[in-house]
Chain A
Amino acid sequence: MPLVKAGQIVEDQYVRVEDDAPLPDGVPVLLTAARFLADARDLVERDAPVGVIWPNDRRATELAPWIDRLALIALVFPKFKDGRAYSQARLLRERYAFRGELRATGEVLRDQFQFLLRSGFDAFEVKKPADAAVFVEAAARFSVFYQPSADGRLPALRRRLQSGVPVPRVERSEARERTIG
């Protein structure tokens, strides 16, 4: 599955290490939650980056002590309809100010790209190569957002206030004149 970062398909720098396998030196490693937690204190001391795959049915708050030491957190969408990882992502990005790579894995389709970006993900293991190829376009589908969210974009409520110009009001007579074309 292609990995997309900053709108480009990239090589995955991280090596996934099985729970019972030895850690390769000097290489970014991606570990399961069980493996990571069993050894967290030592792991975060290593030279090379450490990442963890965090399941979507455990509270992300458990990672709080390690937030500044993790280079990558991979969250999981077992099916794209299972939206628990969106809440985990926002928590990690916004409340815990996680600055590393926040990767969406599992079933990731193009119709979720914008939701994922706005929840704070910046890396995507995309299910279909065709979707990966159109990432930039799909991620720009909407330009207006009602809510403030992790990507820092200004929500509609605030944009209106900022513009300073009074919002054009539709007059009653105009409403009556509007006919179907």
Chain B
Amino acid sequence: MYHYDELDRILVKERVAEFRDQVARRLSGELTEDEFKPLRLMNGVYLQLHAYMLRTAIPYGTLSSAQLRMLAHVARRYDRGYGHFTTRQNIQYHWIKLEELPDAMADLASVGMHGMQTSGNCVRNITTDQWAGVAPDEIEDPRIWAELVRQHVTLHPEFSFLPRKFKIAVGASSHDRAALAIHDLALRLHRNGAGETGFEVMVGGGLGRTPFLAKTIKPFLHKRDVLSYVEAVLRTYNSFGRRDNIYKARIKILVHELGAEAFAKEVDAEWQSTKDGALALDPAVLAEIAARFTYPDYLELGDSPPALAQVRRADRGFDAWMGNSVANHKVPGYAIVTISLKPEGGTPGDATAEQMDAIADLADRYSFGEIRVGHEQNLVLPHVAQRDLPELFRALDAIGLAIPNVGLITDIIACPGLDYCSLANARSIPIAQEITRRFNKLELARNLGRLHINISGCINACGHHHVGHIGILGVEKNGEEFYQITLGGKADENAQLGALVGPAVPYAQVADVIEDIAAAYVELRARPEELFIETVKRTGVEPFRERVYATR
């Protein structure tokens, strides 16, 4: 956990005061909507179909139990009793009143939370791996760098009016759980040939109308140079990104139009002037930031306590959950627990205020008061002692939060879609619900294995459908909802965009199509252990296309 100090708190308080003033000027008419809109967006305030929507930042997906309780409080007091965890590790509230927003923000500010820069043409929430700091395969905790960059880009005077939004992700393991390739800027910690740790810098990833995967522009950047280099990238984008056409304004278009090499040269030319200036990170500054990240006082425990195996044998539910929702921890005797927010009949990523409070209590008891939010829209308890797992399971199971479907076909990632969002063409949640209904038998889902379905209600791709193993994109045809299906997308270190299966299918047929695709996979797979994504890679899309469109 990063510990914010007085300076951080003052900044957030001053931001609330500023927004309170801006809201007052909007309500009095002193500000028109045109003038107010960019200002409210920079505090994460959207206007959606039914009400205003508040997007609250959860920096690199890390929450304290106190913060999670405050999120529950906001849901209860200012919204309709629930919140939605997003694909960028933030939370959204869908029923907010503008008049009450300054008060909601003041409440959030009391625990250091805010909506700053969760929208608008500025640098957005910096995301990382939800297992950061505890994953066995990471070199070091990427969150320290995410926090360093976060502070630097917060209310940055030069970069608050970029051509378009700018999303940054930081990773530190060879297995990429942070979807680096689809970000405007990605920093990947790794060791070079000389054994030094530094960053691979990638730019120009992004989905939407014209999806691109990020390109490497600097294979190795020393830690000392990270802020000056990030500024050079932002300055190049701010100066030369297109401003004439909102669909061509992301940095991915600039990188594509210039070419990655030319873009890298432009950045480097800028960087040469600043790399040894005020932004060069000296060890004292780095040590200060690192010192504010505290880690739990882990006990010295052994791995796999014998009692655990006994409980697994005796309790099939616990056994299933352990095999699915519990992952290895870098500290012996501990485990990483994922809490699925994808129940049948529910909305992917939603949690009620009561559930949030319950999880906060469980975090205090079993996870040193810390929770994580993943971009797959599930929550994580990152520091659970293995010997506590049976008790934790029972507590979660009693409140319906021990569904062992993490990573399976029913662990669907979906944007809010036309049920909530004014940008949407089609609904996504009912599609997710119908698919979950069809595949909800545990045996059926387990037989299919790891299979990521991503659903977006429009081309803005907030559901990241381009990089789903199965991607579903809602479109509108003659006033009806239709869906394009893609296969073979990946969001990890071998990132790939999915390929279209065929013409869009109507709303009522989508779940049938998914069943056909699943059936085709079972027939086509070389062995039961061959994952869906591996089968698609091996066979290509054609056999699936034949199966789906044979009778359509």
A98 at the interface (CB under 8 A from B): no
User: Do B158 and A161 touch (CB < 8 A)?
Assistant: no
A84 touches B238 (CB 8 A): yes
Residues B73 and A149 in contact, CB atoms below 8 Å apart: no
Please state if A115 and B157 are interface contacts (CB–CB under 8 Å): yes
A25 to B7, CA, bound (A): 52
B287's closest neighbor in chain A, by CB? A161
| Interface presence of B64 (CB below 8 A) | yes
Q: Given A83-B161, A169-B3, A175-B369, are A146 and B64 also a contact pair (CB < 8 Å)?
A: no
User: In the bound complex, do residue B243 and residue A119 qualify as a contact, i.e. CB atoms below 8 Å apart?
Assistant: no
B42, chain A: closest CB distance, angstroms: 9
Contacts of A147 in B (CB 8 A): 152, 156-157
Instruction: Choose the segment among A2-10, A15-23, A63-71, A136-144 that binds chain B (4+ C-beta atoms closer than 8 Å).
Output: A136-144
| A168 beta carbon closer than 8 Å to chain B | yes
Given A175-B64, A176-B66, check contact A87 B273 (CB 8 Å): no
Indicate if the CB atoms of A157 and B157 lie closer than 8 Å: no
* Chain A: minimal CB distance from B82 (Å): 17
Contact at A84–B65, with CB atoms within 8 Å? no
Q: Is B35 an interface position by the 8 A CB rule?
A: yes
Whole-angstrom CA separation of A118 from B466 in the bound complex: 40
Complex CA distance for A177 and B439, rounded to whole angstroms: 42
Is the pair B160, A157 in contact by a Cβ cutoff of 8 Å?
Answer: no
- Interchain CB contact under 8 A, B285 and A157: yes
B1-16: which have CB < 8 Å to A?
Answer: 3, 5-8, 10-11, 14-15
Identify A144's interface contact among B7, B18, B121, B294, CB under 8 A. B7
Contact B157 A141 (CB under 8 A): no
Q: Would you call B151 and A146 a contact (CB within 8 A)?
A: yes
Q: A160 near B156 (CB under 8 angstroms)?
A: no
- Number of A-B residue pairs, CB cutoff 8 Å, is 120
Whole-angstrom CA separation of A59 from B266 in the bound complex: 13
Known contacts A141-B18, A143-B14, A148-B278; A160 and B155 CB within 8 A of each other: no
- B7 A160 Cβ-Cβ under 8 A: yes
Contact status B157-A170, CB under 8 Å: no
Given known contacts A87-B239, A130-B30, A167-B3, A82 and B161 CB-to-CB distance under 8 angstroms: yes
Assess whether B159 is interfacial by the CB under 8 Å rule: yes
| Cβ-closest chain A residue relative to B241 | A84
20 A-B residue pairs with Cβ-Cβ distance under 8 Å, sorted by A, are: A83-B159, A83-B161, A83-B238, A86-B160, A87-B158, A87-B235, A111-B18, A111-B39, A142-B14, A144-B10, A148-B278, A149-B157, A157-B285, A167-B3, A167-B292, A169-B3, A175-B369, A178-B111, A179-B69, A180-B70
Give the contacting residue for B66; candidates A89, A117, A157, A178; CB below 8 A: A178
How far, in angstroms, from A175 to B151 measured CA to CA in the complex?
22
Asked if B10 and A143 make an inter-chain contact with CB atoms under 8 angstroms apart, the answer reads yes
A residues less than 8 Å from B159 (CB atoms): 83, 86
Answer whether residue B154 sits at the interface, using C-beta atoms and an 8 A cutoff. yes
- The digit string for B236-251, where 1 denotes a CB below 8 A from any CB of A, is 0011000100000000
User: Which of B35, B162, B278 touches A83 (beta carbons < 8 Å)?
Assistant: B162
Q: Name A172's contact: one of B14, B69, B243, B369 (CB within 8 Å).
A: B369
- Whether B285 lies near A161 (C-beta < 8 A) is yes
Chain A residue nearest to B121 (CB atoms) is: A81
Closest 8 CB pairs of A and B: A83-B161, A118-B157, A115-B157, A146-B151, A144-B11, A86-B158, A148-B278, A178-B66
* Residues of chain A contacted by B35 (CB below 8 angstroms): 109
Tell yes or no: B38 within 8 A of A by CB.
yes
- Among B7, B156, B162, B238, max chain A CB count under 10 A is at B7
Return chain A residues, CB-CB under 8 Å to B279: 148
Q: Chain B residues near A87: list those with CB within 8 A.
A: 158, 235, 238-239
| Cα of A175 to Cα of B111 in the assembled complex, Å | 10
Q: Please state if B154 and A176 are interface contacts (CB–CB under 8 Å).
A: no
Q: How far is the CB of A139 from chain B (nearest CB, A)?
A: 12
Shortest beta-carbon distance from A27 to chain B in Å: 33
Residue pair A81, B278 in contact (C-beta under 8 Å): no
User: Which of chain A's residues have a CB closer than 8 A to the CB of B156?
Assistant: 146-147
Q: Mark A77-108, 1 if CB is under 8 A from B, else 0.
A: 00011111011111000010000000000000
B288 is an interface residue with CB less than 8 A from chain A? yes
Which chain B residue has the least Cβ–Cβ distance from A120?
Answer: B157
**Chain B proximity of A63: nearest CB distance (Å):** 15
- CB of B307 within 8 Å of the partner chain: no
Cβ of A114 within 8 Å of any chain B Cβ, yes or no, is yes
Q: A95-B273, A175-B369 are in contact. Are A146 and B66 (CB under 8 A)?
A: no
Distance between A13 CB and nearest chain B CB, rounded to angstroms: 27
> Of B15, B288, B364, which contacts A160 at CB under 8 A?
B288
Are the CB atoms of A169 and B66 closer together than 8 Å? no
Contact of A159 with B by CB under 8 A = yes
Q: Quick check: B158 and A176 within 8 Å, CB to CB?
A: no
Q: A109 contacts which chain B residues (CB < 8 A)?
A: 35
* Shortest CB distance A59–B (Å): 8
> Chain B residues near A175 (CB, 8 Å)?
64-66, 369
Least Cβ–Cβ distance between A140 and chain B, in angstroms? 10
Closest-by-CB residue of B relative to A127 is B35
Report which residue of A109, A114, A175, A181 has the largest number of chain B beta carbons within 10 angstroms of its beta carbon.
A175
Instruction: Flag if B158 contacts A119 (CB, 8 Å).
Output: yes
Q: Which of B18, B22, B243, B288 contacts A157 (CB 8 A)?
A: B288
Note all chain A residues with C-beta closer than 8 A to B285. Answer: 157-158, 161
CA–CA, A95 to B228, complex, Å? 14
Contact B161 A81 (CB under 8 A): yes
A153 to B123, CA, bound (A): 22
